[in-house]
């Protein structure tokens, strides 16, 4: 087993930073020193070859990340994927949250006329919405709002850039 190539393969498929200790758990036959050496060699190789990505140490781990100069192109790709993958029901719920935030689940369901728990959870998993607070009433129901990721995916600088409802018609 080539440790450098194996570490590269694991980092390539991971969607979160991996610590050297976690890499050692995944690759128990590799010595910790060999893993650290592989990480150093990969970083130098990526930086020396001017690839579109690099190996960065983030959140107490290592992750392959695209270089900042490609941020606009990556944002377009994310926007395209989000538009393709969101169902009509999810887009409807997301639009309601965006325009009415902060909004409780009960209010969203009253507007949509159907239960929305699964859709809210899916939108939270996609990090397009988040819990932004609790209403100050008995039971303190949670309130939802959009995230920075929502703005990025839809190419908005702020919520003020949302089209006015009359423009959408």
Q: Does the pTM exceed 0.75?
A: no
**Residue spans in the chain of domains classed CATH 1.10.10.10:** 3-66, 72-168
Q: Write out the H or E segment, with its range, that includes residue 133.
A: strand 129-134
In our burial notation (b when 16+ CB lie closer than 10 A, e otherwise), range 5-32 reads ebbbebbeebeebbebebbbeebeebee
Residues of the chain with pLDDT under 70: 80-84, 168-169
pLDDT for the residue 99? 94
The CATH architecture of the domain made up of 72-168 is Orthogonal Bundle (1.10)
CATH code for the structural domain at 3-66: 1.10.10.10
């Amino acid at each position: 087993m080539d440790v450098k190539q194996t570490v590269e393969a694991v980092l390539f498929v991971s969607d979160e930073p991996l610590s050297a200790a976690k890499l050692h758990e995944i690759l128990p036959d590799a010595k910790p020193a060999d893993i650290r050496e592989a990480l150093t060699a990969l970083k130098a190789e990526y930086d020396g070859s001017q690839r579109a990505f690099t190996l960065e140490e983030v959140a107490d781990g290592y992750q392959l990340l695209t270089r900042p100069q490609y941020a606009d192109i990556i944002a377009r790709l994310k926007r395209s994927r989000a538009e393709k993958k969101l169902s009509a029901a999810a887009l409807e719920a997301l639009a309601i949250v965006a325009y009415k935030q902060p909004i409780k689940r009960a209010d969203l369901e009253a507007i949509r006329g159907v239960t929305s728990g699964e859709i809210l959870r899916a939108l939270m998993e996609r990090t397009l919405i988040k819990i932004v607070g609790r209403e100050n009433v008995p039971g303190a129901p949670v309130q939802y709002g959009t995230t920075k990721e929502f703005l990025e995916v839809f190419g908005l600088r702020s919520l003020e850039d949302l089209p006015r409802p009359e423009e959408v018609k």
